[in-house]
């Protein structure tokens, strides 16, 4: 049996042994710490960073290929984009525009409509007066002129026939007076038809839809593809608030190529005119003849090219110049890309007969 003195001695021995073990352990840790040099610590840090990078965190100096493409297109084409405003109102722009030729700038007609004395702010910040060469509300296009020597770069155009749904779309402009802002998205749809702002509310076909953010001040600026070519001129958005909801529209490059020279030389755009009202084929039309595609003539206006050529209400136009017509927009686009005085060949289904009708286009009055 242990006496109180022996129990006290054992307790003291246990405390001493615990202290010894603890001291040895601390000594080993201290020795290990002293053996790790600053160089080894730096090496360990590099290894940790390597692990982080291999897990997907790219170093700041690297960008993805798609990002690099957007950066290159933006940097190159910022040199062709200008801000358009009123003389004497520094720092406030009505919209955007871009150089399509030396000393020549395209924008929207609604951008310059309320301006008395126009000025453009160049990419280098210099502000210079601009002359209006021509404008057309039915196409919402305007052409301006400045000293050609001040042109830093000129935009290239992409043929509208090459535009594809899903391809990249990059917008550059001056929304809310925020200079040279860049947004990107995709081409959401092609072949849209919008209504112009002019008094006659005429249709503009071939319009490109994009989800790239378009806001007030972007109007007149370019919508670009991944090669930096102009797909079209940003012109309007669908929105309840007046700001981007991801549905923006651009007037296609083919219409720019067709009408800008005319705006330069005559000051206005003269739209070719067929002289009919028309509609897409109805379910009843297709039930009667499921194999046909085309548009139905509803009315022929008196004294027009259509009347002189012998077109009649009820005719179904299936092709123009050998190109099939599936919707009203197809025929409208083909006519709009033609010139007044051009003779077009229409393939017409009249009852059981297929006819060829030649129409010399008139001018819309």
Is 217 within 8 Å of 174 (Cβ atoms)? yes
The helix (run of H) or strand (run of E) holding residue 353 is strand 353-360
In a domain, 29, yes or no: no
pLDDT at position 325: 94
User: Which of 255, 287, 307 is the C-terminal boundary of a domain?
Assistant: 255
Is 109 within 8 Å of 249 (Cβ atoms)? no
Residue 177 structural domain? 160-255
Span between the terminal Cα atoms of the chain, in Å: 127
Let me know whether 179 and 201 are in one domain: yes
Tokens of 114: 């309320």
Can you list the residues of the chain whose pLDDT is less than 50? 29-30, 32-59
Let me know whether 140 and 174 are in one domain: no
Let me know whether 137 and 84 are in one domain: yes
For the question of residue 140 being annotated catalytic, the response is: yes
For the question of residue 315 being annotated catalytic, the response is: no
Let me know whether 250 and 315 are in one domain: no
pLDDT at position 46: 47
Question: Cα(187)–Cα(272) distance, rounded to whole angstroms?
Answer: 28
Nearest to 187 by CA among 139, 247, 136, 267: 247
Question: Cα(220)–Cα(250) distance, rounded to whole angstroms?
Answer: 9
Nearest to 270 by CA among 344, 335, 358: 335
| Phi and psi at residue 256, to the nearest 5° | -65, -50
User: Which of 119, 150, 181 is the C-terminal boundary of a domain?
Assistant: 150
- Residue ranges with strand state E in 40-147: 81-86, 95-101, 104-107, 118-121, 127-129, 131-136, 141-145
pLDDT at position 62: 79
User: Which of 118, 150, 182 is the C-terminal boundary of a domain?
Assistant: 150
Query: Tell me, what CATH number does 290's domain have?
Result: 2.30.42.10
pLDDT at position 126: 95
Question: Cα(248)–Cα(210) distance, rounded to whole angstroms?
Answer: 5
- Would you mind telling me the total number of residues written for the chain in this entry? 365
User: What's the pTM value of the predicted model, to 2 decimals?
Assistant: 0.79
In a domain, 210, yes or no: yes
Let me know whether 145 and 176 are in one domain: no
In a domain, 265, yes or no: no
In a domain, 238, yes or no: yes
Per-residue pLDDT of 256-276, as tens digits, reads 999 999 999 999 999 999 999
Q: Please pick, among 138, 181, 184, 219, the residue that the annotation labels catalytic.
A: 219
Query: Tell me, what CATH number does 203's domain have?
Result: 2.40.10.10
Is 132 within 8 Å of 144 (Cβ atoms)? yes
Q: Please pick, among 93, 136, 140, 309, the residue that the annotation labels catalytic.
A: 140
Let me know whether 281 and 245 are in one domain: no
Let me know whether 309 and 359 are in one domain: yes
* Total domains present in the chain: 3
Per-residue pLDDT of 94-149, as tens digits, reads 899 999 999 999 999 999 998 989 999 999 999 999 999 999 999 999 999 999 99
In a domain, 174, yes or no: yes
Q: Please pick, among 96, 110, 211, 315, the residue that the annotation labels catalytic.
A: 110
For the question of residue 219 being annotated catalytic, the response is: yes
- What are the CA-CA distances from residue 295 to residues 192, 324, 349, 359, 364 (Å)? 17, 10, 10, 16, 21
pLDDT at position 144: 98
In a domain, 48, yes or no: no
């Amino acid at each position: 049996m242990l006496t109180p003195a022996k129990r006290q001695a054992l307790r003291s021995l246990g405390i001493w042994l615990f202290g010894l073990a603890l001291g040895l352990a601390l000594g080993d840790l201290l020795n290990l710490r002293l053996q790790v040099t600053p160089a080894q610590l730096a090496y360990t840090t590099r290894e940790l960073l390597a692990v982080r990078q291999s897990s997907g965190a790219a170093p700041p100096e690297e960008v993805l290929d798609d990002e690099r493409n957007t950066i290159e297109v933006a940097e190159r084409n910022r040199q062709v984009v200008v801000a358009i405003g009123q003389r004497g109102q520094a720092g406030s722009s009505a919209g955007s525009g871009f150089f399509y030729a030396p000393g020549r700038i395209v924008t929207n007609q609604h951008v310059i409509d309320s301006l008395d004395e126009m000025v453009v702010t160049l990419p280098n910040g210099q502000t210079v007066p601009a002359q209006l060469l021509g404008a057309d509300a039915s196409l919402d296009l305007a052409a301006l002129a400045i000293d050609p020597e001040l042109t830093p770069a000129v935009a290239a155009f992409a043929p509208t026939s090459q535009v594809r749904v899903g391809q990249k779309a990059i917008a550059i402009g001056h929304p809310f007076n925020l200079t040279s802002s860049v947004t990107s998205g995709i081409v959401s749809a092609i072949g849209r038809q919008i209504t112009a702002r002019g008094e006659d509310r005429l249709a503009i076909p071939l319009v490109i839809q994009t989800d790239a953010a378009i806001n007030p001040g972007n109007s007149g600026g370019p919508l670009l593809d991944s090669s930096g070519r102009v797909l079209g001129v940003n012109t309007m958005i669908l929105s309840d608030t007046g700001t981007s909801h991801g549905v923006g529209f651009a007037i296609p490059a083919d219409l720019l190529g067709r009408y800008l020279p005319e705006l330069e030389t005559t000051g206005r755009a003269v739209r070719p005119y067929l002289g009919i009202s028309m509609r897409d084929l109805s379910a009843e039309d297709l039930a009667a003849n499921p194999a046909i595609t085309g548009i139905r003539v509803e009315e022929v206006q008196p004294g027009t090219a259509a009347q002189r050529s012998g077109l009649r209400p009820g005719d179904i136009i299936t092709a123009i110049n050998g190109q099939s017509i599936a919707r009203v927009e197809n025929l409208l686009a083909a006519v709009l890309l033609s010139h007044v005085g051009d003779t077009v060949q229409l393939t017409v289904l009249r009852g059981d007969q297929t006819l060829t009708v030649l129409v010399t286009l008139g001018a819309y009055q």
